[in-house]
Structure 1
């Protein structure tokens, strides 16, 4: 919903997660991104919601009653990317003075720095002299939030430590998601402080973006472990809204069905947090199939959190593998070229010696015993996903 997001949208989304049955497949968090913020106030002097969110606590309570958890968004900067106030200020009175644009020029009353890239133009894109994030964290805890996405760039370690401390002292267990494009050289330190961290800038719904991000994630894999995850950004599937717009209508992703299979297959092998931002009211059966295949999701959610690796590549073909907690191995077979082709690989080159029972996870069909060479036909930009279990 981007700039149009409001309490009714969030609750409607939560109800759709329940009505469509997504809650039965592990989908748990209902998260607000930017554009919820009003002005500071309340007992903590924390950011209060704008008029589209009349009762944050009631909203969180309703989400919890439905069996789900609630997420919110902020930044340690003085302003957010969408131009609302952030977790710091230039002075104790939170008076932004000439940094703020005149009211008559604002798209929304509380969008005081203007639509993106206003935060940069108004020089609100840094941590202000007065730290207020700790007040905001206490307010989120009181409202009942379980998750916060904290968005700024670059994600530096000292600021992340301040954020972590504020959440630890908030009185509630709150998941910390760092955004965006965490510097790789700080991955290990940031990974100790956060539960997930963005490994990239914002993803887009085209093959160039999805493939360049997805197939470049191998180096990050060694930094994840249970409870601490690499985040290559949200899934670009279904009908999407446009960033930095008050969305009321949604447009089908530009990814082809084959590209969407590749997208979800690779994200699950990478143990990426699975996050969707699509229209659930008019969701089609294909998108539902992507979101409710428990065998595919199980690879993503495997508790061992062992890293995925690019085990084999030749021309436009790649195979990525991931060892699972039960001793089996998940594998994604990918065709990065535009034309249909047959991927032929000897399983020994994937580290699979001997006979295995193979199961096609997207087709949910056993493939029988495989040994030696395996050949898989793949559409252009397409993927198949298998689980190999050692034959007894």
Structure 2
């Protein structure tokens, strides 16, 4: 299963983001992450009166680098109710792999993905793009406890 890259001049885009309508910071992270993982831009619809201190979600340079790279991810599965539809991945132009796990449930959820599901093998350095933190080396399976309506976004580097 090969990920694809944005080509020509078509730019995928989702809905405009109004993060002031989200209930939690986890929901805000998920909304921004999904836009960028799917290959779209971050289109801000909050106004100066409603944005408050939410600019930190719109200005995450590590995630915005995906859009600048032309990154386009895809879900592991196109079956709506499957676990794979909540796990997205793709390859950046430099070969780094970006993995995102989205929890659509109303409670925290332990999520996992096998590197082999993404046609990857070996060891990778993992970096959490929201926490701006290196998480060590991963191989085989990647597991994370993902908060309700939250996400976990990792960049995997050989």
TM-score (norm 1): 0.36
Is 1:356 aligned to 2:124, yes or no?
yes
The match for 1:324 is 92
2:70 aligned with 1:291: no
CA contact (8 A) 1:344 1:374 kept: yes
Q: CA deviation at 1:270?
A: 1.4
Measured in 2, the distance between the counterparts of 1:355 and 1:222 equals 23
The counterpart of 2:112, out of the listed 341, 344, 348, is 344
Report the Cα offset of residue 280 of structure 1. Answer: 2.7
RMSD across aligned C-alpha pairs, in angstroms?
2.4
Contact 1:271 1:301 in 2 (8 A): no
Distance 1:358 1:226, change over 3 A: farther
Q: Is the 8 A contact 1:345 1:373 kept in 2?
A: yes
Partners of 1:260 and 1:282 in 2: CA distance: 14
Residue in structure 1 matched with residue 16 of structure 2 by the alignment = 234
Which whole-Å CA distance do the structure 2 matches of 1:361 and 1:347 have between them? 18
CA distance in 1, matches of 2:150, 2:135: 19
Larger RCO (CA under 8 A, 6+ residues apart):
2
Q: Which has more radius of gyration?
A: 1
CA positional deviation for 1:257: 2.2
Equivalent position of 1:267 in the other structure: 35
Residue 284 of structure 1 deviates from its aligned partner by 3.2
Quick check: 1:360–1:387 contact (8 Å CA) kept in 2? yes
Matched-pair contact (CA < 8 Å) for 2:13–2:35: no
Distance 1:318 1:254, change over 3 A: closer
Structure 1 or 2: more helix by fraction: 1
Mark the CA change 1:346 to 1:316 in structure 2 (over 3 Å): closer, same or farther.
closer
Question: Relative to structure 1, is the Cα distance of residues 338 and 328 closer, same or farther in structure 2, using a 3 angstrom cutoff?
Answer: same
Q: 2:101 & 2:83 partners in 1: Cα distance? A: 13
Residues in 2 aligned to 1:254 and 1:295: alpha-carbon distance in whole angstroms: 22
- Counterpart mapping for 1:1-392 below 5 A: 224-238=6-20, 253-280=21-48, 283-285=51-53, 287-302=54-69, 305-311=70-76, 314-315=82-83, 318-390=86-158
Residues of 1 paired with 2:61 and 2:143: CA distance? 25
Q: Is the contact made by 1:316 and 1:337 (CA closer than 8 Å) also made in structure 2? A: no
Unaligned runs of 5+ in 2: none
Gaps of 5+ in 1: 1-220, 239-252
Aligned residues: 153
2:12 is paired with a residue whose SS is: strand
